[in-house]
Amino acid sequence: MRILVIGGGGREHALVWKLKMSSRVDQIYCIPGNPGIAELAECVSLDMSDNEKLAQFALAQQIDLTVVGPEMPLTNGVVDCFKKYNLKIFGPSQAAAQLEGSKEFAKKLMRKYRVPTGDFVVFTEYEAARQYVLSHEAPLVIKADGLAAGKGVVVAMSREEALTALEDMMCSQVFGSAGNKVVIEEFLSGEEASLLVFTDGYTAVPMVAAQDHKRALDGDMGPNTGGMGTYAPAPVITPAIKDQVMKEIVQPVVDGMRTEGCTYCGCLYAGLMITADGPKVIEFNARFGDPETQVVLPLLKSDLAVVMEACVDQKLDTVAVEWEDQAAVCVVLAAGGYPGSYDKGAVIEGLAEAKDAGATVFHAGTAFNAEGSIVTNGGRVLGVTVAAIDLSAAIEKVYDAVKCIHFTGMQYRKDIAHRALNR
């Protein structure tokens, strides 16, 4: 098989890394890729937002399967474009990707198909939203309806915070047009976890549950980020809760999407809150999570290319998806100042030493400088991942590997997987 992966972050590095292990895969291309991916695949500099150019590349290179990493190409309709040329592509159509692209769409679908989630109201007028906040007790969750690069959510612990969030989104348009419409949601309390599933639009197969650490600093303090580390399996999702999630959340959504005329094929990410009343949906993503992918895929025993092709061919029920009886931990190494403003171009040292220490280092925000050295080129720079016999062993090994890596301003959390250890 000849495979194309679209994207250039840590998630895509993990996808390429796992696909490279397949006995069926001969060649992998990645658009645009990064220095880490370049060790495994041929990186091609093309515009990810130009569906036609992507499809023409796939045709010219006789690509057998394309895998889409980020949400932007999915909501931009890349899957629909590829299907027009009878090209196999793993990911939901533009209509199905609304599950992530529009918070309102997702919440109304859940309400219609009785999927457990927080109560919500939708506003397109700032004054109406402001009056709602003034008449309701905090905490409240304020969400920009559209895509905001994972940043369009504010958990407001006071009315003042909620009003500021509304003003930022609807008046100052800090998230652009994504904030023209906002969803105000009931605050859910409990423990968060993520369950990713493979689906062909009919059958849904769960992956290993993971837990992300969004806050920048140890002890879940500091500002929200795109994710400072993750681990799997997450013990908060017990076998019984996983069965409940599949029965009451995932399958109703997969079936509901098909009923609505937008069959969902690809990876469906359910962001969950495990509350005292059971699991409830915080959000859906229409693709693999980042950095969850970096701990889930190392635990996959089955051939990823075979599983993905079965999804595209709507034959997932014919494939056994098996998992290693291990645990994995990923620690994100971020640039100084992240998630605020940060510098780029710091030389990264110790990558080979980290590998020798038993880690797989996934590149998220890296580049080559003029001298050919690998340098920082993003907020989240690297994801250092270790899979081991259990969580304690994985934690010890991953932090030994982290100590090998150095770059100016490097910051990371020292307590990834602390909730699991506390259990």
Domain residue ranges of the chain, discontinuous segments joined by +: 2-90, 125-180, 190-318, 327-422
* pLDDT > 80? residue 71: yes
pLDDT tens, position by position, 127-156: 999 999 999 999 999 999 888 776 788 889
In this prediction, residue 293 has a pLDDT band, given cuts at 50, 70 and 90, of very high
In this prediction, residue 419 has a pLDDT band, given cuts at 50, 70 and 90, of confident
Strand partners, 360: 385
Question: How is domain 2-90 classified at the CATH fold level?
Answer: Rossmann fold (3.40.50)
pLDDT at position 317 is 98
* pLDDT > 80? residue 44: yes
Q: Give the mean model confidence (pLDDT) for residues 58-84.
A: 97
* Of 3, 8, 62, residue with least CA distance to 31: 8
In this prediction, residue 325 has a pLDDT band, given cuts at 50, 70 and 90, of very high
pLDDT tens, position by position, 72-90: 999 999 999 999 999 999 9
pLDDT at position 150 is 67
Question: How far lies 137's CA from each of 151, 204, 233, in Å?
Answer: 23, 38, 35
| Whether CATH 3.90.600.10 fits 327-422 | yes
72, 238 contact by CB (below 8 A): no
Burial of 325 (0-12, 13-18, 19+ CB in 10 A): exposed
pLDDT at position 28 is 98
CATH of 190-318, one of 3.30.470.20, 1.10.274.100, 3.40.50.20, 2.40.30.20: 3.30.470.20
Q: Tell me the pLDDT of the chain averaged across its residues.
A: 96
* pLDDT > 90? residue 302: yes
pLDDT tens, position by position, 155-214: 899 999 999 999 999 999 988 888 899 999 999 999 999 999 999 999 999 999 999 999
pLDDT at position 423 is 75
* pLDDT > 70? residue 232: yes
Q: Give the mean model confidence (pLDDT) for residues 275-286.
A: 96
Cα–Cα distance, 376 to 8 (Å, whole number): 14
Q: Give the mean model confidence (pLDDT) for residues 366-377.
A: 97
* pLDDT > 90? residue 311: yes
Question: How far lies 210's CA from each of 29, 192, 232, in Å?
Answer: 28, 9, 4
367, 321 contact by CB (below 8 A): no
Q: Give the mean model confidence (pLDDT) for residues 343-363.
A: 97
Cα–Cα distance, 19 to 21 (Å, whole number): 5
pLDDT at position 422 is 79
Supply the CATH classification number for the domain 125-180.
3.30.1490.20
pTM: 0.96
pLDDT at position 409 is 97
Q: Give the mean model confidence (pLDDT) for residues 100-115.
A: 96
